[in-house]
Structure formats: structure tokens, C-alpha cells
Structure 1
Amino acid sequence: MAHAPENHPAVIDRRALIGGAAAGATLALLPRSARAIAAAKRVTAPAGIFVGEGQVGNVSTPVWSFRGIRYATAERFRAPRPYATPGKHRDATAFGPVCPQTGNAYAPQSEDCLYLNVWTANPEPRAKLPVMLYIHGGAYSGGSVTDPLNDGATLAGRGDVVVVTVNHRLNAFGYLYLARLDPRFPDSGNAGQLDLICALRWVRDNIAAFGGDPGRIMLFGQSGGGAKIATLTGMPAATGLFHRAATMSGQQVTAQGPLHATERTRAFLDAVGVKPGALQPLLDMPAERLVEGLHARDPVMAGAVSFAPVLDMTWLVRHPFWPDANPIGRSIPIILGNTHDETRGFIAPETTKTLTWDTLPDRLAPELRIDVLPEWVVGEYRTQFPDWSSSDVFYAASTAGRSWRGQVIEAEERARAGAPAWVYQVDFTSRTDPRRGAFHTIDIPLVFGTLGATGSQAGTGPDARAASDAMQDSFVAFARTGDPNHAGLPAWPRYDLATRATMVFDANSRVENDPRRWQRELFARIPYIQPGT
């Protein structure tokens, strides 16, 4: 007997009936909000009829999730093609696969990874809720929105936004620049960015059916996600597809140059045994072999081969924030944020236990990612902060020189151009490992409200809820109006060069003018180019 296709309406209806029968005995024990969402939910959109399922976003508001919606297909190293099945039922109850990458943190992995997810408390076109679309971190090589910290149910469960999260191609699949070696792949160096643009077009055309307002789409993203957003603000093809943006510890001042990108491509090709003049084996080999090639040594900087958007003069025709804030993105209001102790997130405290004042300069030098005399940096910090330990100086200097510097440049270039921007700093610290302070990624659970999710170090106490409420309310207000101010927070001025007003998010959030001024001025003496570009 032939089986019906997975998305056949009969299969979906049978699943709903079976699920309903199995759950019927326990429904009476659930709170009313959970009972209200027990049934499957159908949403009819231009791209298809999507069948999602209920989640409890918080104690009072039911949320429907639509996960694993394919928005595009793509051949290897080529631009994506939009995907739609008008009038056809499509199951949307499980995440799609993530892009192949090193490690096994996320599974399943597949080259066929162009899927997005939607959470909404009001899947009706008349709702017209602002849309918050999240782009995950992991630089340009790893990560996924299937991480529990990125679950959109709690944020959408507030009832005042629709949340979308997007997976796209990464590392060699999304950013290996082949255009100078083979004219068949003109889009290869920015394929991952084109995936995001394709997803944004899908959202523009379909999100109203889920209760979203296609005229109020806000991008937000952490680390690599923020960098991708900064790049999108300077890509003509993305113009008009989003209306506000927030970057969380993620900047892209300069894009990767095409010559450096080609050097990296040659190093990658050598690692997988492919000659630059004969790329067919690169198209034929399994995805797993490409992942193995990611361990190739980067010819420009230390470590494994680096990937980033490429200044290919087709999709990206100038740098995002050099020599100034890209004019095509200046009309988009932006929130720019960083955590106070960024590098405590990716340089483990254990590795600094043996630091001494004698060994600190050599240990610090590669972490600064700029060409500066490390002995001078250490000496300046010791004079300014005589009570600090060598470990304190290591993390503060590496954060200021490597991780915070790009955000400062972006904020100041927007201020010079008169473009609207608001700046924040997260001072809320880890509640499970105090040594890590306000480390890189701690703001993810604060914004999503996933305080108790696997991987969160925010804790679930009143202080964490206060910091989370402050960030969530600011981001939601920004999605709604293009201004992050709201009644529960002190007035948050736009960033300008006169005061450099900065919202400091913590258990008790506040505004400070030009926090860490001394560190900002110290590193402003040194020319800065985005690491890897």
C-alpha cells in the first residue's frame, strides 16, 4: 500500500487526531492557557498552508509555533531560490536541519538547511504585530537558532510581537569565495547573506498570515548574527526588507577583501585536495569532506580558516562602516550593544590562572587583534587601575581592543552622520559562574526570556527577571515604534558625540554617559580593521 506524502492533508489530520486522543486524558489537568493551544493550528499564507502546534509562552498567554518552514532551496555555492507551495499543506512542527559545521552541538546537520521558525500568540492577519527576526551567532562558521536559548515562545508569549528565527548557510557553504577562480559562482562569497535576504522576502510576503506586520520588521542578532545584520544594512538588495535593527555583541566595520578571501579559498581547497583550476570535485564531494576542510590554517591570521562576507562589488559594493556609516542604512534606527566582559565568554578563566605580569603581554598580544605594543597596553592599564590583577587587565584590554571597538566605531560613525542609534552595555553577570562576569552571550537569555533554558547562566531570580524585563521591553518597544524607550526604564537618549549616553542593563538598569571612557580613548589611538578582513 502506498504511503501518503508527509505533507498530505490526510497525514496531518491523522497526526492531529492521534495527538489529540493521546493527550485527551491529561488535558483536564492542564491550565486553561495550555488547553487552549492543544490542537494543531493552520495558517494559510501565500507560500502554503502551515500546520503548527501550541506552546505555552508564559503563564497566561498561549503561543503557536511553526517550526521548520522551508523558505528557499540552493545548489552548492550558488544563490538561493525562493520556495513556496501555494495551497498545499506543510507540516511545521519540527525544526529543520542546521548547516553542516564542526562539532556536534546542533543536529541534524544538512546542506539543505534553509528553514525558518515562527512563534505567534495571535495568528490572524488583523493583528498586525511588529516582527522580531533573530539571526544567530557563531561568527560565520557555526551556530543555529535551534539552540534552546533562542526559543521564541516566551518572547512571543508576551502577545505583542511575532518572533521569527532563521537558519542559513555558514562557513564554506555560505561564504567560500570562488568568483575569482570560476565564473560559475559569482555569488559564492555572500551566499549566506543572500539566504538571509531570501528569508526576509519570505517574511515580507507571508508574515501577515501569522499576525505580523510586514511594515515593522526588526532584525536582532547576537555576535555573528549582529555582524550579519550590520552587513545587511549596507547591502542594496536588503533595502526596504527590514525597518529597525539591534546588534548584540556583533559588529562588521569592514567586509572581507576579495584578495584575502581568495587566499583563504586556496588554503581551503588545498585542505580538501582540490586544484583551483578544476573545481568540479568540490561540487561532487560529500558535505562532511567540506566540514573537514574548515580546519585549514588561515593564511591571513592565526587559527582555522576564517569566513566573512566579501566585498565582491556585486552584492556588497562598499564596507558597512568604512570610511563612514554606509548611507543606504542610515535611515534604519539601530540599537548597538555589547557586554561588559565580552572575552570572558570565549577565553576560559582556567587559562588565565597562571598569568603573571611578566607573561601577560605575550598572552594578551594575539587576543587584541590589532597591531599595538602589548607591553605599553599593560603598562597603561596598570597605571590607570593599580588594584587590578593581571587577569583583570587581560580580560578588560582584550574586550576593549578586540570585541568592543567595532561597536564604538559603528556608534560614532552613525552619530557623525546624524543616523538614529541607541547604545547599551550589559553589566548583568553570570549567576552560576561569577568568574565569567558579564560575558559574551549572556544577553541572549535576557532578551528571549529563556532564563532557565539549557546553557543560560543568568539564573531565574528576581534580579535576572528585572534585567530581562528591561531588555525585552526595550527591544519590543523598538520593534513597535523604532524607539527603545518605555515607561519601565529611565529615559534612554540617542547616542551622540557630546554625551555618548549608554543604557547599562543590569538588575537596576540606568543610563551612563561615556562609560569606560579611558579604555575607549586608549584604543582609539590605534587603527582598527575588522579581524579577518
Structure 2
Amino acid sequence: MDQAMIVKTSSGRVSGIRVENVHAFLGVPFAAPPFGEHRFRPPTPPEPWEGVRPAVEHGPAAPQRPAQDIGLFAPDVFRYGADCLNLDVHTPDPGAAGLPVLVWFHGGAFSVGANSAAWQRGHRFARDGVVCVAVNYRLGFEGFLALDDVPANLGVLDWLAALRWVRANIAAFGGNPADVTIAGQSAGGAAVATLMTMPDAAGLFRRAIVMSGSATLVTSLAEARAQAKELAAVLGVRPVREDFAALPPERLLAEQPPPTTGQLGSLGESVAIKPVVDGQVVPGVPLEAIAAGIGGHLRLLAGNTSQEADVFVRRMVEGIDQGTAREAAEALGFSSDPEPPPAELVARAVTHRLFIRETRLLLRARSAAIAPTYAYEFRWESPLESPAGGGRVGAVHNLDLPFVFDVLDAPGVARTAGHHAPQALAHEMHGAWVRFVRDGDPGWPAGVKRILR
């Protein structure tokens, strides 16, 4: 890796590195560190700096609990710290002009994750002519706690601040600020669906990609305020900024619930922390707004994997009998003919309820949209057995990421997908996403689901 050229941003100059013949600018701040005087407050611009700031290492992620390693996915260990409102930019050429831009929001149930995740790095989008920006934002209680005297959606305001930074600065990296596509997977996909309906985000992007996401992953202001009050009682403080800002982040993390609750009735029940319908930043439930035509001028690509949660659920319900499995599936609104073995039946029902159903609701809500909607389903199944139990990995949640980013050589892919994952499928998917970002058309007819396997 050799030195990249210097780019001038609105806060100062940055120098990056070369990665596989593209330019990478890593850990670039788009807002001031959200701690100290800025803790539990909306994002503010970063302090300008003199000279040239090195942008050669991934910036810190937001404070979070380490994710449990269950033998699947990339073995990422994220460094976190105060200066967590940063982004990575991969560009073919900072001296170019008018290149399409992809802005990526990582998943992690709004509680874990980082833009530096190995399966989501944008250097091969840059290789193919796209300026790729990956965003860090506040997570967990720091980003979504609804204190009495604090805006309820600080993490959402971080998304907006990042998009405004892109609009103001991306031309200096060769990108076109008028040709931005936002994309995300899992909670990142829910972030994209939410942004599509937010008045403050209007005009900041023109296309959207929702991968394994949801347009219902929000909570009410009343529920969010109640959660904050319960937490304050546990901590022995008032539910106000002054008291919570005096607590170390580690104290809040100790009381923060796991990213997923284990409740399988709906995706909203299974995710403990999420954006808040506050009537202002997030005016309403995104699905309802989309059905009413909000965001209908935006081209959308949306889909999911076919076995998102199967391996995890099979492990949880191992030994269940057929009658109990059938009752559980019926309670989740799922039936299958022929009926698979008990654990498999429940697994399919949960995947359908938590992910496939959410994608279908989003696609159905878009039925009257002005702009076209493109659907896909990822069905390639990993042949490996899960080391944690539950049988074959299959087309599990997250497995489509290294295909979309064309990084089958990234850490952790082989232990999840095996050593012979089809590079041809990665070329197909990555190429489709590049075409959508560049032209608004992934290469198949709108309204027709593309099966990827």
C-alpha cells in the first residue's frame, strides 16, 4: 500500500492510502466526538484541523459489547472509542468527477457493528467505478435512548449528518453529490427504509438498497420514554441528560440488553433497541409512510436470504416434536406442504416471520411507487455444518454480504461458506449492485424477483 493523494474536506485536508489500486481514506470524521460536552446531544461538525490529517486506519466504532463468536461470519473485533462518528471512503480516483456514490450503513441490531467489518469493505466497488462511503454511528443507549430532555433519535441524526457530509464533500473524492445511493443490511437495511421516509433526508440520495431489512423496525415515543425511565431507576439517576452524561459508557453497556431478545413473534420484538417514531425526525412508521407514497420517487432494490435464521432456530428447538412445531409455525402464520421435520419447520417459520415477511411487506407497500422496485432472493446455501449446532449453515443471515462486496477472500468467509464459494455468483451480485448504483437498474425487470444462487 502506497501513499494516496491529499483531499481537502470542509474540516481540513486528509491523506489516505492505496488499497488494490484504489484510494482509501479511513476514519474521516463527519461530526465531533459525541462524548464530553457533546454526549447525548445531536451531532455537530468536527473541529477543523491544521495541516494534513492521516486517514490511513479505520476509525473507532461506537461503544458496544463484543459480539459473540458462534463460529460463523467474519471474526471482527472492533476497536471502539469516543471519536466514533467517522466514515471510510474508497474511491477510484479523487481527481475524477461525477462518479456514482454508494453510502453504506452497517447492521447489528442498532447495538453492535462497525463500518470496518471485513465483509463490507468498499474497495472493490471503487475498483468498479463507484465511490463507496461506509458510516459509523452511535449505537445502543448512546444512539437511541429517549431521555426526557434529549432528542430521541441521536443515531438517526448521525445518519443524516453523514449524508450531509457526503453532499458537501464527496465531490473532492471524485463523487457526484447528486448521484447517491444509500444501502444497508439487517439493521442497516432498516435504517435505509427509515431514511426513505424522513423529511430531513429528502434530496440527500436518489436510490436505496434494503438487504434483509425492515420498514417496521421502530418503537413508539411512549415505549422509548418508558424504557429510559426503567433504565434510570436501575441506575439510580433521573432520565435526563445531566445524569446520564455523567455515567461512563461502560456503565450503560453493562445494563444494555443483548442485540436480539430471543422473542420470535416479530422482528420488532426481537430487536431491543431501535429508532423512535418521534413525530419529527421519524414522523411515523416507515412502512405506513411508504404505502402512502412517501419515497415513491426513489428507485429501490430489496431482498433477503432464503434461510436467514434457520440454523440458529434449529439449534434452539432441537428435539421439538412435530405437533408442537406445527403449533409454533401456525402461531407465526406459516405453513408448509409437505411439512418438513419439526426443527426445520419452526426454523422456516421464524425466517419467514422475521425477514421474508418484512421484505414482502416493503415490496407490497411500494406497489404504487412512481420509481421502479427491484426484488431479489439469495438462495445459495453454504454446505458447511455449523460448529455451534443446528445443522447446515445454508443461506444464512449475512452470507450475501461478501458476495455483494465481492470479498470472498475476506476473513471468515471460508469458515462460513467453505473454501469453494462460487466466485461467479459474487461477480453476478456485485455487478448487479454496481449497475443499480450507477444506472438505477440491476439488470433484471422491475417487479420480478431475481433468484440468486
TM range (shorter): 0.7 to 0.9
Q: Distance in 2 between matches of 1:72 and 1:479?
A: 26
Specify the alignment match of 1:505 in structure 2. 452
Specify the alignment match of 1:311 in structure 2. 277
Specify the alignment match of 1:166 in structure 2. 135
Judging changes above 3 Å, is the alpha-carbon distance between structure 1 residues 164 and 130 closer, same or farther for their aligned structure 2 residues? Answer: same
Q: Distance in 1 between matches of 2:262 and 2:419?
A: 43
Cα shift at 1:86 = 7.2
Deviation larger for 464-473 or 222-231: 464-473
Asked if residue 219 in structure 1 is aligned to residue 177 in structure 2, the reply is no
Letter in 1 for 2:141: A
Specify the alignment match of 2:345 in structure 1. 393
Letter in 2 for 1:52: G
Task: Give the conservation status (yes or no) of the 8 Å contact 1:50–1:90.
Answer: yes
Task: Give the conservation status (yes or no) of the 8 Å contact 1:177–1:265.
Answer: yes
Letter in 1 for 2:132: V
Specify the alignment match of 2:376 in structure 1. 424
Cα shift at 1:326 = 5.0
Judging changes above 3 Å, is the alpha-carbon distance between structure 1 residues 275 and 87 closer, same or farther for their aligned structure 2 residues? Answer: closer
SS in 2 for 1:139: coil
Trace 1:362-511 onto structure 2 (pairs within 5 A).
Answer: 364=328, 373=331, 380-381=335-336, 384-386=337-339, 388-433=340-385, 435-456=392-413, 457-459=416-418, 461=420, 464-485=422-443, 492-495=444-447, 501-506=448-453
Cα shift at 1:480 = 0.8
SS in 2 for 1:174: helix
Cα shift at 1:44 = 2.6
Task: Give the conservation status (yes or no) of the 8 Å contact 2:403–2:426.
Answer: yes
Trace 1:48-127 onto structure 2 (pairs within 5 A).
Answer: 48-56=12-20, 62-73=21-32, 74=34, 75-83=38-46, 85=48, 88-103=51-66, 106-126=77-97
Cα shift at 1:439 = 0.8
Q: Distance in 1 between matches of 2:217 and 2:13?
A: 41
Specify the alignment match of 2:201 in structure 1. 238
**Greater RCO, 1 or 2 (C-alpha within 8 Å, sep 6+):** 2
Specify the alignment match of 1:360 in structure 2. 325
Task: Give the conservation status (yes or no) of the 8 Å contact 1:234–1:326.
Answer: no
Letter in 1 for 2:174: G
Judging changes above 3 Å, is the alpha-carbon distance between structure 1 residues 445 and 41 closer, same or farther for their aligned structure 2 residues? Answer: same
Q: Distance in 2 between matches of 1:146 and 1:358?
A: 45
Cα shift at 1:87 = 6.6
2:287 to 314, 321, 325: 321
Q: TM-score, normalised by structure 2?
A: 0.88
Q: Distance in 2 between matches of 1:300 and 1:446?
A: 28
Q: Distance in 2 between matches of 1:280 and 1:45?
A: 33
Q: Distance in 2 between matches of 1:298 and 1:399?
A: 14
SS in 2 for 1:246: strand
Cα shift at 1:143 = 1.1
Give the superposed CA RMSD: 2.6
Task: Give the conservation status (yes or no) of the 8 Å contact 2:297–2:369.
Answer: no
Task: Give the conservation status (yes or no) of the 8 Å contact 1:226–1:246.
Answer: yes
Q: Where has structure 1 moved over 4 Å in runs of 4 or more?
A: 296-305
Cα shift at 1:304 = 8.9
Structure 2 gaps of 5+ residues are 68-75, 386-390
Deviation larger for 79-88 or 298-307: 298-307
Trace 1:110-189 onto structure 2 (pairs within 5 A).
Answer: 110-126=81-97, 128-158=98-128, 160-178=129-147, 181-182=148-149, 185=150, 187=151, 189=152
Task: Give the conservation status (yes or no) of the 8 Å contact 1:236–1:328.
Answer: no
Letter in 1 for 2:255: G
Task: Give the conservation status (yes or no) of the 8 Å contact 1:267–1:299.
Answer: no
Specify the alignment match of 2:255 in structure 1. 293
SS in 2 for 1:250: coil
Task: Give the conservation status (yes or no) of the 8 Å contact 1:43–1:51.
Answer: yes
Q: Distance in 1 between matches of 2:363 and 2:242?
A: 44
Q: Distance in 2 between matches of 1:300 and 1:340?
A: 20
Q: Distance in 2 between matches of 1:131 and 1:323?
A: 26
Length, aligned pairs only: 430
Percent identical across equivalent pairs?
33
Q: Distance in 1 between matches of 2:182 and 2:229?
A: 34
SS in 2 for 1:109: coil
Instruction: Return the index of the structure with the highest Cα Rg.
Output: 1
Task: Give the conservation status (yes or no) of the 8 Å contact 2:189–2:210.
Answer: yes
Q: Distance in 1 between matches of 2:353 and 2:162?
A: 34
Task: Give the conservation status (yes or no) of the 8 Å contact 1:174–1:191.
Answer: yes
Letter in 1 for 2:156: Q
Task: Give the conservation status (yes or no) of the 8 Å contact 2:3–2:16.
Answer: no
Task: Give the conservation status (yes or no) of the 8 Å contact 2:125–2:434.
Answer: no
Trace 1:191-270 onto structure 2 (pairs within 5 A).
Answer: 191-253=154-216, 255-270=218-233
Judging changes above 3 Å, is the alpha-carbon distance between structure 1 residues 305 and 253 closer, same or farther for their aligned structure 2 residues? Answer: closer
Structure 1 gaps of 5+ residues are 1-36, 57-61, 366-371, 486-491, 496-500, 507-533
Cα shift at 1:79 = 0.8
Judging changes above 3 Å, is the alpha-carbon distance between structure 1 residues 162 and 323 closer, same or farther for their aligned structure 2 residues? Answer: closer
Specify the alignment match of 2:10 in structure 1. 46
Cα shift at 1:138 = 0.4
Q: Distance in 2 between matches of 1:262 and 1:477?
A: 43
Cα shift at 1:129 = 1.4
Specify the alignment match of 1:30 in structure 2. none
Deviation larger for 448-457 or 62-71: 448-457
Task: Give the conservation status (yes or no) of the 8 Å contact 1:48–1:84.
Answer: no
Specify the alignment match of 1:530 in structure 2. none
Task: Give the conservation status (yes or no) of the 8 Å contact 2:90–2:131.
Answer: yes
Judging changes above 3 Å, is the alpha-carbon distance between structure 1 residues 449 and 460 closer, same or farther for their aligned structure 2 residues? Answer: farther
Q: Distance in 2 between matches of 1:149 and 1:373?
A: 35
1:337 to 292, 298, 303: 303
Judging changes above 3 Å, is the alpha-carbon distance between structure 1 residues 324 and 129 closer, same or farther for their aligned structure 2 residues? Answer: closer
Q: TM-score, normalised by structure 1?
A: 0.75
Letter in 1 for 2:119: L
Cα shift at 1:390 = 1.3
Specify the alignment match of 1:9 in structure 2. none
